[in-house]
Amino acid sequence: MKPARFDYIRAGAIAEAHAALAKDGDEARIIAGGQSLVPMLSMRMARPAVLIDIMHLPELAKIEVKGNSIRVGAGVRQAELLAWPELAERQPLLAAALPWVGHAQTRSRGTVCGSAAHADPSAEIPLALLALKGSVELSSQLERRRVAAEDFFTGLLSTARNDNELIEAIDIPCRAAGHGYAFREFARRHGDFAIVACAAIARVDGARLAIGGVADVPTARDFLDLDSGVLNDALDEFAVELEPRDDLHATADYRRALVRRLGRATIEEARRCRV
Amino acid sequence: MTGVATSWCGQSIERVEDGPLLTGRGRFIDDLGIRPGTLHAAILRSPHAHAKIRTIDAAAARRAPGVAAVIIGAEVTAISASLVVGVKAPIECWPIAVGRVRYVGEPVAVVLAADRYLAEDALELINVDYQALPVIVDLLAALDPKQPALHEGLGSNIASERSFRYGDPEQAFARAAHRVSVTIRYPRNSCTPIETYGLVAEYDANEDAYDVLANFMGPFSLHAVMARALKVPGNRLRLRTPPDSGGSFGVKQGVFPYIVLMGVAARIAGRPVKWIEDRIEHLAASVSATNRLTTLEAAVEADGRVRALAWNQLEDVGAHIRAPEPATLYRMHGNLTGAYDIRHVSVRNRVVLTNKTPTGLNRGFGGPQMYYALERLMQRIAVELKLDPVDVIRKNLVPSKAFPYRTATGATLDSGDYAKALETALAQGGFAELRERQQAARAQGRIYGIGLTAAVEPSVSNMGYITTVLTPEERRRAGPKNGAQATATVSLDPLGGVSVHAASVPQGQGHRTVLAQIVADALGLKPSDIRVVGEFDTAKDAWSIASGNYSSRFAAAVGGAAHLAAERVKVKLARVAASQLNVAAQDIEFTGGRAHARGNPDNAIPFSRLAAASHWSPGLVAEENQALRETVFWTPPELTPPTEKDEINSSLCHGFIFDFCGVEVDRVTGAVRIDKYVTMHDCGRVLHPGMVAGQITGGFAQALGAALYEEYAYAPDGAFLSGTFADYLLPTTTEVPTPLILHLETPSPYTPLGAKGVGEGNCMSTPVCLANAVADALGLSAVDLPMTPAKLAAHIHVSEDSTRRT
């Protein structure tokens, strides 16, 4: 369990990271907290020729409120965001979801943007980003662009990021008046990847539910009619459309059942939390 | 004890081990330096469960940077011999694939390189041409005579079959009012020590001798297996252990094939070889506990009294019968009636081979599999006969006055008061309140169940129990094997310091602390006066085949041997003191760091001066009285070989456990929450309460893992599905509640200190106790491990969804 040979570049400036990405393209990988990448390197499931370390760039290590959203830079560790005093007030869903990310130890190394970049279908940060209709800021030597979360997660461990691009930040909308937020998850153990994770946002005229851990990408659905019977049927339909699969930890049936039951409970909780 | 009534044993003194371990100063195998020129090994492992190896092309790997050698099966067979196989069959067991792979993860080639990175780089350059063969994963498929034999010499995949009969089971079944049976599929799992296997092997061509440092844990009967495989006399395989070993739970027995493999590799390369197993290797290919299919039937009277048991056990040892298998199946043979007074037993035992990792020692070793069947059966008896499950257990327990009690299958239950332990646990553990709690929960529509288990926990294995797999005739030919030699040495140095060594090979348990307590008690010293050495060296230390750390033998056997060695030193010192103090030797007492005349504490000599006397002035001390170093080899006479009727006292000591618990199953997720867990232990005399609590808590945690989380799972094609800790889930601190631990102490009459083993009991009692509770909660007649939320939710959701649809 030793990585294959790679070169290591500690970027001293964003431009340096951009240059390295431009030069090495798909042979290069950004390393931030390394909580997913390092095990993949050790198991040789990832074997980049170059690792570009972006954890020594102060300009990326910022949490900022810009207009009506929170901008979390690529150098911000999950533990830092969780400890940010304004988090629960600015975005309660994110505050509720973050404690489910791994363990205290992994959160103290892992970054918020790194989790988005890794795009594990059962990870909480991509799920929250999608539920809240956040976006990802990408930059390269050539351009800077913003991709909506729903367009960013394109498949299992794959995203809309181009090989020459750096994720500089993610932007997460702040809480909206009259909205309620809830997050629930079931995993076999505390800190495991979710078997089913649910993020719900309740509005006056309906609710949005995003599900992680079931399909290849986190998936959101808006429900306009929250009448119990109608919602149950809609959730049943949603659960089937997610096309859950059997794996070692759970059956497809079980995942469908949890989408229905946990999904409904999460929506109900979000509705109770509306202010 | 003499003099003031201070006994260090029985106190939870601070562990000498903890300082270095808690400050990162432990000395584990991978922390120790290596000689310059040492090569690092990486192992290419089979991706196939069963395949013929047509060719291995290692030319590119041999040319790769830093590579010194690439070793394949043919080179290993050329200079070594097959590992001895524990059944009488013409089959071989090599530490590397020879012409054929039989499980995913089986070693196929070894690369030796300047460092592990380069060795792993070179692994990718080896080209193996495999021809896939039909795969046998399920143990029932192994019974199919149409399936090809995994080992041709065997002719089938049944490696061993024996039937046993004790008492008159046929008559008991014929007369029984009821017959109750269970069928159990016990899964594969493992105790996964935090430190994986590791070793440094060296070969001395001049003396044709191997020197291996490995975190092996014994039993040292395997030293003989290794020496024979390496084709050297025992004195030319020097085996040493590092000062610290990071857990084992039986599993590190399984490093022994690698000791042979890397010994051969070092010989071929002409340089020392270091190999540290990584976690992926460990999960796929170290050792697993056996999976077992058991059908167990009871002949039961109307009141719940069990008159006879009929065991049918089908044991899956994986792709090879690797020593000491099929020991897992026979370890409990004397205890097949558990804690119960049942005189009629029939047993059919079959051992089969499948395309899975070979099995080996694992905490509980046969007990989890056996008790799962027996205690599920007891619960089913209560349900089917509409009796109180507590009463069914109570009624069948070995009576309090019956000790020592010889079980139908031959074990001597040394001591105990099972009824008292049970009643004490029910009272102190709050069983009546638990039942009220269950009623209240059920009244609220919650899914709540109560489980119970009674178990006898065997410890200090009889080295002869495994020969029960042979027929009496085969045993006669092979010669008797039995006993449980424990050794300990107490030495005095020229400043009067006391050193202790015992071949117990600790892996973090705290042996050094307890040995210091025991010897301090004997010599009237403080534990801090005693220095205990943990590492072990077959070339220098006293040892025998039973040496090592398994079958919970430390407190009962090794601690006892240390006590006897210290007593021997004391007897000699008393004679020296007698001559100095002008009193009779029998009037010398040792207290407070001094030897003194009984009744006259002023007539005294400091212990250190006395202890140094035989070094500085041997002329003063008669030769036979010289107190320098005493080694005791102790084996209990009770551990006799199997009788002609196949009765076997498989273990020396038998602790008693009575557990009960309350669990709630979540209606939405199917997750099991342990509401309350009570575990009553009688492990004889308790030497260090803190460590006993640690053993119980640790065993409980691992058992909870087996019950709810852990399974070494295989796909139908033999692919290994539990290859990382994201797939093989261990309970962590957030999943493990704290059990209420209760004690009763009935000392063993057969051990020097009255202690019995306590390390494995909860691995035997807890999985089935939790399963009984879940079965009670959900009204299930059959429940198999691990009890995952998805499995349990299927029962809940099916009934709820059918209700909703109507």
Contact A188 B788 (CB under 8 A): yes
Tell me if chain A has a CB within 8 Å of the CB of B117: yes
In a domain, B182, yes or no: no
Q: What is the pLDDT of residue B623?
A: 82
Gap between the Cα atoms of B690 and B418, Å rounded = 23
User: Which of B669, B724, B732 lies nearest to residue A258, judging by beta carbons?
Assistant: B669
On chain B, the residues whose CB falls within 8 A of the CB of A189 are 709, 729, 731-732, 734-735
Q: Which of B729, B731, B727 is nearest to B762 (CA)?
A: B731
Tell me if chain A has a CB within 8 Å of the CB of B598: no
Gap between the Cα atoms of B560 and B553, Å rounded = 10
Record the tokens describing residue B652, joined without a space.
Answer: 């020396």
Average pLDDT, integer, range A156-161: 97
Average pLDDT, integer, range B478-504: 96
Nearest 5°: phi and psi at B83?
-65, 140
Judge whether B584 and B576 are in contact, CB under 8 Å.
no
In a domain, B147, yes or no: no
Q: What is the nearest CA distance from B667 to chain A, expressed in angstroms?
A: 10
In a domain, B98, yes or no: yes
In a domain, B233, yes or no: yes
Judge whether A94 and A82 are in contact, CB under 8 Å.
no
Task: Establish, for the pair of chains A and B, how many residue pairs have beta carbons separated by less than 8 Å.
Answer: 67
> B423 and B444, same structural domain?
yes
In a domain, B617, yes or no: yes
In a domain, B158, yes or no: no
In this prediction, residue B714 has a pLDDT band, given cuts at 50, 70 and 90, of: very high
> B316 and B239, same structural domain?
no
- Going across the sheet that includes B100-101, the strands are B100-101, B51-57, B127-132
Q: Does residue B804 carry a pLDDT above 60?
A: no
Gap between the Cα atoms of B380 and A134, Å rounded = 55
Judge whether A234 and A223 are in contact, CB under 8 Å.
yes
Q: Does residue B801 carry a pLDDT above 70?
A: no
Query: Of B285, B308, B333, which marks where a domain is finished?
Result: B285
> B295 and B281, same structural domain?
no
In this prediction, residue B761 has a pLDDT band, given cuts at 50, 70 and 90, of: very high
> B737 and B684, same structural domain?
yes
- Residue A252 DSSP SS3: helix
Task: Please state the ipTM of this predicted complex.
Answer: 0.95
- CATH number of the domain where residue B274 is located: 3.90.1170.50
In a domain, B608, yes or no: yes
- Going across the sheet that includes A7-10, the strands are A7-10, A50-53, A28-31
B170 Cβ neighbours under 8 A, 6+ residues apart? B346
Which DSSP symbol is given to B557?
I
Average pLDDT, integer, range B53-57: 98
Nearest 5°: phi and psi at B20?
-65, -40
Q: What is the nearest CA distance from A23 to chain B, expressed in angstroms?
A: 25
Q: What is the pLDDT of residue B368?
A: 98
Q: What is the nearest CA distance from B293 to chain A, expressed in angstroms?
A: 21
For A235-257, how does the pLDDT look when each residue is reduced to its tens digit (9 = 90+)?
999 999 999 999 999 999 999 99
Q: What is the pLDDT of residue B618?
A: 87
C-alpha dihedral sign at B359, B365, B368, B369:
positive
For B439-479, how does the pLDDT look when each residue is reduced to its tens digit (9 = 90+)?
999 999 999 999 999 999 999 999 999 999 999 999 999 99
Tell me if chain A has a CB within 8 Å of the CB of B606: no
Interface test with B, best of A188, A255, A267 (most B CBs within 10 A): A188
- Asked whether the bond before B326 is cis by omega within 30 degrees of 0, the reply is yes
Gap between the Cα atoms of A170 and A174, Å rounded = 13
Gap between the Cα atoms of B470 and B478, Å rounded = 9
Q: What is the pLDDT of residue B90?
A: 86
> B281 and B295, same structural domain?
no
Q: What is the nearest CA distance from A248 to chain B, expressed in angstroms?
A: 7
Gap between the Cα atoms of B725 and B484, Å rounded = 36
> How much of chain B exceeds pLDDT 70, in percent?
98
Which DSSP symbol is given to A188?
S
> B299 and B278, same structural domain?
no
B671 Cβ neighbours under 8 A, 6+ residues apart? A186, B665, B789, B792
> B522 and B400, same structural domain?
no
C-alpha dihedral sign at A35, A36, A37, A39:
positive
Helices (H), B444-506: 472-478
Judge whether B638 and B648 are in contact, CB under 8 Å.
no
Contact A189 B788 (CB under 8 A): no
Domains assigned to chain A: 7-53 (3.30.43.10), 58-173 (3.30.465.10), 180-272 (3.30.390.50)
Contacts of residues B440-443 at CB distance under 8 Å and 24 or more positions apart, as own/partner, are B441/B664
Q: Does residue B257 carry a pLDDT above 80?
A: yes
In this prediction, residue B1 has a pLDDT band, given cuts at 50, 70 and 90, of: very low
Gap between the Cα atoms of B269 and B791, Å rounded = 51
**Average pLDDT across chain A, whole number:** 97
On chain A, the residues whose CB falls within 8 A of the CB of B279 are 1
Contact B789 A3 (CB under 8 A): no
Q: What is the pLDDT of residue B3?
A: 42
| 3-state helix/strand/coil string of B777-800 | HHCCCCCCCCCCHHHHHHHHHHHH
First to last CA, chain A: 51
Average pLDDT, integer, range A103-132: 97
Query: Of B285, B300, B334, which marks where a domain is finished?
Result: B285
Locate the chain A residue with the closest alpha carbon to B725. Answer: A192
3-state helix, strand, coil in chain B (%, to 5): 35, 25, 40
Query: Of B246, B270, B285, which marks where a domain is finished?
Result: B285
Contact B731 A189 (CB under 8 A): yes
Contact A5 B729 (CB under 8 A): no
Q: What is the pLDDT of residue B317?
A: 97
Judge whether B657 and B761 are in contact, CB under 8 Å.
yes
- CATH number of the domain where residue B518 is located: 3.30.365.10
In this prediction, residue B420 has a pLDDT band, given cuts at 50, 70 and 90, of: very high
Q: Does residue B799 carry a pLDDT above 70?
A: no
Locate the chain A residue with the closest alpha carbon to B120. Answer: A2
- The 10 Å Cβ neighbour count of residue B91 is 18
> B564 and B648, same structural domain?
no
Tell me if chain A has a CB within 8 Å of the CB of B670: yes
Helices (H), B397-510: 418-428, 431-443, 472-478
Interface test with B, best of A248, A253, A255 (most B CBs within 10 A): A248
User: Which of A44, A186, A248 lies nearest to residue B669, judging by beta carbons?
Assistant: A186
Tell me if chain B has a CB within 8 Å of the CB of A6: no
Contact B117 A5 (CB under 8 A): yes
User: Which of A2, A251, A265 lies nearest to residue B790, judging by beta carbons?
Assistant: A251
Burial of A33 (0-12, 13-18, 19+ CB in 10 A): buried
Q: What is the DSSP string of B506-547?
A: -SSS-HHHHHHHHHHHHHT--GGGEEEE--EETTTS---TT-
User: Which of A1, A3, A248 lies nearest to residue B727, judging by beta carbons?
Assistant: A248
For A183-201, how does the pLDDT look when each residue is reduced to its tens digit (9 = 90+)?
999 999 999 989 999 999 9
For B193-229, how does the pLDDT look when each residue is reduced to its tens digit (9 = 90+)?
999 999 999 999 999 999 999 999 999 999 999 999 9
Contact B790 A250 (CB under 8 A): yes
Record the tokens describing residue B357, joined without a space.
Answer: 């990792």
B547 Cβ neighbours under 8 A, 6+ residues apart? B218, B219, B220, B485, B486, B487, B503, B504, B505, B536
| 3-state helix/strand/coil string of B184-229 | EEECCCCCCCCCCCEEEEEEECCCCEEEEEECCCCCCHHHHHHHHH
Record the tokens describing residue B229, joined without a space.
Answer: 């495989």
On chain B, the residues whose CB falls within 8 A of the CB of A195 are 789-790
In a domain, B393, yes or no: yes
Instruction: Please list the residues that pair with B49 across neighbouring strands.
Output: none
For B647-682, how does the pLDDT look when each residue is reduced to its tens digit (9 = 90+)?
999 999 999 999 999 999 999 999 999 999 999 999
Q: What is the nearest CA distance from B734 to chain A, expressed in angstroms?
A: 7
User: Which of A4, A188, A253 lies nearest to residue B789, judging by beta carbons?
Assistant: A188
A4 Cβ neighbours under 8 A, 6+ residues apart? A41, A44, A47, B121
Record the tokens describing residue A111, joined without a space.
Answer: 């970054």
Average pLDDT, integer, range A194-211: 97
> B243 and B201, same structural domain?
yes
Contact B120 A2 (CB under 8 A): yes
Judge whether B322 and B351 are in contact, CB under 8 Å.
no
Q: What is the DSSP string of B731-789?
A: P-TTT-PPPEEEE-----TTSTTSB---SSHHHHHHHHHHHHHHHHHHT-S---SS--H
**Average pLDDT across chain B, whole number:** 96
> B350 and B315, same structural domain?
yes
B560-B565-B566 Cα angle (round to 5) = 95
Contact A192 B726 (CB under 8 A): yes
Residue type, B692: V
Q: What is the pLDDT of residue B4?
A: 47
- Residue A265 DSSP SS3: helix
> B303 and B402, same structural domain?
yes
Q: Please, which residues 136-195 of chain A have a Cβ atom closer than 8 Å to chain B?
A: 186, 188-193, 195
Number of domain units in chain B: 3
Domain span at residue B534 reads 18-25+485-634
Record the tokens describing residue A181, joined without a space.
Answer: 């937020």
Record the tokens describing residue A228, joined without a space.
Answer: 């119990």
> B367 and B237, same structural domain?
no
B787 Cβ neighbours under 8 A, 6+ residues apart? B672, B707, B708, B770, B771, B774
pTM of the model: 0.97
